[in-house]
Structure 1
Amino acid sequence: MNIAILMMQKNENELLKKWITYHSYLVGSSNLFIFDNGSTNNQVIEQLTNFENKEVNVLWDFNKKSDYEQRGSIFCDKIKSLDKEDFYDFYMVIDCDEFLGTVDEEGNICFDPLSLEYSLLNYQSNNELLMIDSQYYNSSISPFWFNKQPYRKCFFKKNTIAKLDQGFHHGQVTTSDKEIRTNLVHIHFHNKPYEIAKTHAKEKLTGRVSNFNLDYLKNYNGKGFHLVRFFLQTEEEYIQNQVTLNHIKSMSLYHKLKQLNLDWPFSSTINETREKLGLTDDDDSFEKVLPKFRGSIDYIAFEGEYLKIRGWGLVNYSRPIRYIFLQLTNRSRFRFEIIERVIREDVNEMLNVRGGALGFSARLKRSDLEDLTDVTASTAIVTFLNSECAYFKFDMQKKHKEFNYFSPNNLAG
């Protein structure tokens, strides 16, 4: 499988080498297409020249501000041109602060070429617009904690692209008017160190805003308006706005970069910020650390020859649960068969997640429970996580916890 990655950047001195080295490992250096948008930093220019000598495709002609504003169209034209060569199977369009990965069925993030290729095999026959599952925003005070955002980004199968917007959020394909969410993800270094982020924001807003007067910026809502926040808050407020969000822990990319002899981006500044703000322990710095598993059983009853349950569950704040068991006090377990998966809009709204059929209906044969007694049976309904080698209990209302598994006449509880 051949995968092309297209990226436009300007003066990304801290991230560029790491981005190219990592994505060269992922898809091969000759499959990277770097559009330089007029870098003036000598180190960046030197890095690009060095990588160009190592088969990375560097395109120097798109160096105007207007090219950045039109990068969606520029990338679309390039992909159509590459399609004529009939070499690439998929095209990724990402930014220099985004690192491509995959997420497995239990929500664990992986950064490996085989995992990427295996994931994309599932979409070779799809005609829809392909969507990134989500983005994991980094923390500017830790390399291990991330805030998951159901953020829109798209990519393309060969011979399908029709249109692409400037931010790669919306695209069109010639083969369908629908889209499908995949298991590809980005680690997004959205939260750069405060001063660096502010400098980059000013560079990107120059030409879009008429001035940097604070009263003017407060009311600005044009292109790049999300960058205005760097001029309206202190560093302490910037950090506080991060740590109050939901966070999950992952060390996958940290170890992958280490394996590639790369430091974590902005690592020295991270340490300086932590010291300045008196932060010593990662686990104590974040206010909302998400559990590995969340789920609830909403219904339980005998229906004919089956014990039926309905509920919802997800693991690692990302994926629907795969296994459900009735757990006995003697540690033996009966596995439920999941017969239907449904989208639970109430759960999605509560958890701020998008897509994914987190709801389910499941059943267990009544005959499997015939030998149970009130000594051996438990009301615990659990799920199993392979990555944790552990069982986790579903939440249940009191009336469901008191469900009588031994009564053949027990109906809806």
Structure 2
Amino acid sequence: MQRNEVNALEPWLLYHAHLFGMENLCVIDHGSTHPKVLNTLLWYEAEGVRVIRLPEDADFHLQGEFMTAAMREMNARDEYDFLLPIDCDEFLAIRREDGSFTCARDEILNCLASCIGRQETLEIKQNLLNILGQPGRYWVLPYQKVFFSGRSIGTLCHGSHQDISGRDNGLLETPLVFVHFHHKPWDEQIKASKEKLRHFVDVDDPAALADFKGLGWHLLVHMKEGEAAYNEMMRDGPGLGQVDGLLPLFAQLHINPLFTEQPIPFTPPAP
């Protein structure tokens, strides 16, 4: 589910179409207005992507319900082994037994094949968070996201972190991970944060932002600390990891790994 993800939407589609096929992707559009995003949706819809269009005033607090409803409708066709909710800045990869990470399609599909028919709620427990100015290097962090095998659909919370259906079916951790391109250049980070927060608070009112404690409050952390602190944060962090094959695959798919509005020439290192 996305709104005006001008830099991430097409890369997300290209990458996950490489893994699963364009016809197996679904985008829930929450009232996008950006011309590039609207054109991208029309273009890839013609290529087989399913697009569900919500009005701009649809209640963003109900994101989990919108996502669950879309998954249940798709699952009713009995065509899918899995229903996998992914944010527009998240790219699926996998952790190998030796602790290294890869985006190799065969390894991801083999992992999923081993989970076909499982009734448990399936978990993704790691997040590889991007570092500005260091494409290909990521902070390896704990995470919590869920997905489901076909015919065993639960109910998503806002953000797809938990199954809130109340069913007693257990949990199964998988080695799948998300490469998370959350960090953007400062101006774009603020613009994107305000785009998301405007559903909950008046983003043009400094006093309202200062007092805000509701859903999406974490987006305010960078805004409050300022640009210098944000950029300094990129110099340090948790343990670093790389994803084997990711930058060459991005180059093959014509994806700019910096995810900026203005394309920046980038040549990945030799494998």
Normalising by structure 1, what TM-score? 0.60
Could you tell me the percent identity over the aligned residues?
A: 28
Task: Find the aligned partners of 2:12 and 2:25 in 1 and give their Cα distance.
Answer: 10
**Corresponding residue of 1:121:** 113
Does the aligned pair in 1 maintain the 2:3–2:31 contact within 8 Å?
A: yes
**Corresponding residue of 2:161:** 169
Q: Deviations over 1:17-41 (max 9, x none)?
A: 1110111111000000011111111
Counterpart of 2:234, as a letter, is Q
**Corresponding residue of 2:26:** 33
Task: Find the aligned partners of 1:270 and 1:146 in 2 and give their Cα distance.
Answer: 21
Correspondence for 1:205 among 190, 197, 202: 197
Per the TM alignment, residue 123 of structure 1 is displaced from its structure 2 partner at its CA by 1.8
Task: Find the aligned partners of 2:167 and 2:113 in 1 and give their Cα distance.
Answer: 18
Root-mean-square deviation (CA, aligned residues, Å) is 2.3
Counterpart of 1:265, as a letter, is L
Task: Find the aligned partners of 2:263 and 2:229 in 1 and give their Cα distance.
Answer: 16
Task: Find the aligned partners of 1:80 and 1:151 in 2 and give their Cα distance.
Answer: 25
**Change beyond 3 A, Cα 1:189–1:70:** same
**Corresponding residue of 1:313:** none
Task: Find the aligned partners of 1:228 and 1:46 in 2 and give their Cα distance.
Answer: 30
Q: Deviations over 1:175-229 (max 9, x none)?
A: 6342121111100111111111101111211141245444543332111100112
RCO (CA 8 Å, sep 6+): is it higher in 1 or 2?
Answer: 2
**Corresponding residue of 2:223:** 231
Task: Find the aligned partners of 1:35 and 1:268 in 2 and give their Cα distance.
Answer: 22
Task: Find the aligned partners of 2:196 and 2:261 in 1 and give their Cα distance.
Answer: 24
**Corresponding residue of 2:67:** 75
Correspondence for 1:47 among 22, 40, 48: 40
Residue 158 (1) aligns with residue 150 (2): yes
Tell me how many residue pairs correspond in the alignment.
264
Does the aligned pair in 2 maintain the 1:37–1:63 contact within 8 Å?
A: yes
**Corresponding residue of 1:179:** 171
**Change beyond 3 A, Cα 1:137–1:55:** same
User: Aligned to 2:78, what secondary structure does the other structure show?
Assistant: coil
Task: Find the aligned partners of 1:211 and 1:27 in 2 and give their Cα distance.
Answer: 37
Residue 20 (1) aligns with residue 13 (2): yes
User: Aligned to 1:105, what secondary structure does the other structure show?
Assistant: coil
Per the TM alignment, residue 151 of structure 1 is displaced from its structure 2 partner at its CA by 1.1
Does the aligned pair in 2 maintain the 1:161–1:173 contact within 8 Å?
A: no
Per the TM alignment, residue 162 of structure 1 is displaced from its structure 2 partner at its CA by 2.7
Task: Find the aligned partners of 2:236 and 2:174 in 1 and give their Cα distance.
Answer: 28
Does the aligned pair in 2 maintain the 1:128–1:175 contact within 8 Å?
A: no
**Corresponding residue of 2:3:** 10
Task: Find the aligned partners of 1:65 and 1:166 in 2 and give their Cα distance.
Answer: 17
**Corresponding residue of 1:398:** none
Counterpart of 1:59, as a letter, is I
Q: Identify unmatched segments of 5+ residues in structure 2.
A: 266-271
Normalising by structure 2, what TM-score? 0.89
Q: Identify unmatched segments of 5+ residues in structure 1.
A: 1-7, 273-413
Mapping of residues 187-266 of structure 1, within 5 Å = 187-210=179-202, 212-252=204-244, 253-266=246-259
